[in-house]
Amino acid sequence: MRSRWSYVYFAFYLALGFVLLFLNNDINKAIITLLNIIIVLTPLIGTIFGVMYFYNSKEFTELLLAQPIKRSTIFLGQYLGISISLTLSLVLGLGIPFLMYGLFKSSAIFDFGLLLVVGSFLNFIFVALAFNVALSNVNKIKGFGYAILMWLFLAVIYDGLFLISLIVFNEYPLDKYSLFATMFNPIDLSRILILLKLDISALLGYTGAVFKKFFGTNFGLFVSLFVMVLWVIFPVWRINRKLRKKDF
Amino acid sequence: MIQINNLHKKFGKLVVLNGLDLEINSGGIFAILGPNGSGKTTLIKSILGMVIPNAGDIKINEQSVLKEWEYRNQINYLPQIANFPANLSVKELIAMVKNLRPKKANDTDLIKLFSLEPFLDKKLGNLSGGTKQKVNIVLTFMFDSELIILDEPTTGLDPIALIHLKELIQKEKSKGKTILITSHIMSFVEEVAGEIVFLLDGEIYFKGSINDLKKQTNQVDLEHAIANLITKENV
């Protein structure tokens, strides 16, 4: 089940990469389009795959639990298996068309690399979050619902709330606040990280300048990647903690 | 060999195990009986570490097994419902389970015994209930372990397979293994079990031989003796 779908997913990215390149005829423009797709799609796919895999492999998990294997090993293995296969689909699916188009000769290689790194992080983050949701819900339908809701919240609703808060408090200096709020949403964080690398920060006005000052530097880049790592570690840690008390 | 002290387990508000104490010595066949929902499977899953008890301790060979996992190498477990990943073939499943245990397995004899050869390349999702249960039995008995736990082993088996299963159980018993069985088929229990542990409302209600039970309840056969135990409690 898992392997067949990751092929489909791989083929999808492959096709996407080719189509974008031939329509845009320019690597930089293709990367911007890709950004918008990756930012929304990878979390969604990661969430759905994570939840689906968890519930589908229930029997398998029960079989393994009666064997002399540590609990955390079983689930960590499943988590890594699904995250890595999704990441591979992403990296290969997008990498191949771009390589064929002559990525190495263009200056966009660093941006493209960052895009893939961010996409991979999003995969790992959202599969871990999905496992968390699935572990806390025995009911399949409920678990699926909550997971999708979580994705919707982080991908769409969070931005809305963020914007509203900016409008309501627009008499106060908000640059620090918005920087901080961005850190709490992996999707926003990755979006801004890449946008700024692509040098379209001028579109963002004064706050954009503050962002640019922060994310544009190497220091900002490292801090952001560090926050992304935290976004992976914390859910995985919680999976482990939940597991210790879970009955099967 | 197995020592269970003051075991408590609640699922939400439902109390399943309520301060259960049980001691099972090495060697012999022990039948764990009780009405539906009396906590038999929960008890077994607690021993296996699949259910985490709220309180109490479980010791196997003087060592607490809570939060441990290596001890499971000494346990063969036959789950109540044969739930296998549907996309694996029988052969792949057996190979995988063999891979997980650092032990020698004698799966070929067992496959022959239950005539499973024609099913080896079939997907588990396409097998009938009885055939799945046979695969389940092969997986359980192919390792040589001190403790064997069988949860409703007879479900869906045809008479020939049932005879083979009984032979297998007797063979393991003669090797000095400890075997725990739960079943609702009393004739099966009467035939194989040496000692009976009767669970009711999360506690041990009776523990002893079949003859003791019959004497205590003044019944001639086991089925009525058990029924007598259950109804007496409810009156």
Q: Alpha helices, DSSP H only, in chain A?
A: 2-24, 27-56, 58-65, 71-100, 109-136, 140-152, 158-168, 175-183, 186-197, 205-215, 218-243
Q: How many domains does chain A have?
A: 1
Nearest residue in chain B measured CA to CA from A67: B72
**pTM (global) more than 0.95:** no
Residue contact A70–B11, C-beta within 8 A: no
Position A104 scores a pLDDT of: 63
Residue in B50, B69, B75 nearest the CB of A248: B50
Going from the C-alpha of B172 to that of each of B31, B32, B48, B166, the distances in angstroms are 15, 18, 20, 10
Is it the case that residue A123 has pLDDT exceeding 50? yes
Q: Which backbone phi and psi does B8 adopt, to 5 degrees?
A: -120, 135
Is it the case that residue A150 has pLDDT exceeding 80? yes
DSSP A52-101: HHHHHTHHHHHHHHTSS--HHHHHHHHHHHHHHHHHHHHHHHHHHHHHHT
**Cβ atoms of residues A220 and A192 within 8 Å:** no
Count A/B contacts: CB-CB distance under 8 Å.
Answer: 56
Reported as half-sphere exposure (CB side, CA atoms, 13 A), residue B36 has a value of 0
Q: Hey, is the C-beta of B125 within 8 angstroms of any chain A C-beta? A: no
Check which CATH number belongs to the domain holding B33 and give it: 3.40.50.300
Residue contact A67–B100, C-beta within 8 A: yes
- Each residue's pLDDT tens digit, A22-69: 776 666 677 777 788 888 888 898 898 888 888 888 877 887 887 777
Q: Hey, is the C-beta of B132 within 8 angstroms of any chain A C-beta? A: no
Nearest residue in chain B measured CA to CA from A55: B85
The Cα of B225 is separated from the nearest Cα of chain A by a number of Å equal to 33
3-state secondary structure B95-114: HHHHHHCCCCCCHHHHHHHC
Domain that holds residue B218: 2-234
Tokens of B47: 């021993």
Tokens of A245: 């008390």
**Cβ atoms of residues B183 and B152 within 8 Å:** yes
Is it the case that residue A3 has pLDDT exceeding 60? no
Q: How many CB atoms lie within 10 A of CB B174?
A: 9
- Each residue's pLDDT tens digit, A180-236: 777 788 888 887 777 777 665 555 555 566 666 666 667 777 888 888 888 888 888
The Cα of B55 is separated from the nearest Cα of chain A by a number of Å equal to 12
Q: Which of B73, B76, B87 to mutate to test the interface with A (most CBs of A within 10 A)?
A: B87
H or E stretch including B209?
A: strand B203-209
Measured between alpha carbons, how far apart are the two ends of chain B, in Å?
36
The Cα of B144 is separated from the nearest Cα of chain A by a number of Å equal to 14
Domain that holds residue A189: 2-243
B85 neighbourhood in chain A, CB within 8 Å: 57, 59-60, 63
The Cα of B224 is separated from the nearest Cα of chain A by a number of Å equal to 33
For the CA atoms of B166, B172, B177, B178, the dihedral, rounded to the nearest 10 degrees, stands at -10
**Angle in degrees, CA B68, B70, B75, rounded to 5:** 105
Q: Tell me which residue of A120, A113, A89 sits closest to A99, measured CA to CA.
A: A113
**If you average pLDDT over residues A95-120, what whole number do you get?**
76
Residue in A66, A245, A247 nearest the CB of B77: A66
Tokens 């999808």 correspond to A12
Q: Alpha helices, DSSP H only, in chain B?
A: 40-48, 90-100, 107-113, 129-141, 159-174, 186-192, 210-217, 222-234
3-state secondary structure (DSSP) of residue B181: strand
Bridge partners, residue B209, by sequence: B195
Q: Supply the ipTM of this predicted assembly.
A: 0.75
The Cα of A236 is separated from the nearest Cα of chain B by a number of Å equal to 19
Q: How many domains does chain B have?
A: 1
Residue, of B161 and A4, whose pLDDT is higher = B161
Bridge partners, residue B150, by sequence: B78, B181
Q: Considering chain A, what percentage of its residues have pLDDT values greater than 90?
A: 2
**Angle in degrees, CA A179, A183, A189, rounded to 5:** 95
Residue contact A1–B87, C-beta within 8 A: yes
Residue in A59, A66, A245 nearest the CB of B84: A59
Residue contact B48–A66, C-beta within 8 A: yes
Sequential pLDDT tens for chain B (235 residues): 788 888 888 888 888 888 888 888 888 888 888 888 788 888 888 888 888 888 888 888 777 877 777 788 888 888 877 677 777 788 888 888 888 887 777 888 888 888 888 888 888 888 888 888 888 888 888 888 888 888 888 888 888 888 888 888 888 888 888 888 888 888 888 888 888 888 887 788 888 888 887 888 787 777 788 787 777 665 5
Is it the case that residue A14 has pLDDT exceeding 80? no
The Cα of A25 is separated from the nearest Cα of chain B by a number of Å equal to 43
Number of residues assigned to chain B: 235
Instruction: Please return the burial class of A96, using the count of CB atoms within 10 Å of its CB with bins 0-12, 13-18 and 19+.
Output: middle
Q: Tell me which residue of A128, A15, A38, A116 sits closest to A81, measured CA to CA.
A: A128
Residues 77-96 of chain B with CB under 8 A from chain A are 77, 79, 83-87
**Cβ atoms of residues A209 and A220 within 8 Å:** no
H or E stretch including B15?
A: strand B14-24
Q: Tell me which residue of A152, A90, A153 sits closest to A124, measured CA to CA.
A: A90
Asked if the structure places residue A43 within a domain, the reply is yes
**Cβ atoms of residues B73 and B103 within 8 Å:** yes
**Angle in degrees, CA A134, A187, A220, rounded to 5:** 130
Residue contact B79–A62, C-beta within 8 A: yes
Q: Which residues of A touch B (CB under 8 A)?
A: 1, 57-60, 62-71, 244-248
Residue contact A59–B48, C-beta within 8 A: no
Distance CA B216, CA B229 (A): 10
A66 neighbourhood in chain B, CB within 8 Å: 48, 50, 72, 75, 77, 79
Q: Which backbone phi and psi does A151 adopt, to 5 degrees?
A: -65, -45
Asked if the structure places residue A248 within a domain, the reply is no
Q: Hey, is the C-beta of B45 within 8 angstroms of any chain A C-beta? A: yes
Residue, of B12 and A20, whose pLDDT is higher = B12
pLDDT band at A1 (very low <50, low <70, confident <90, very high): very low
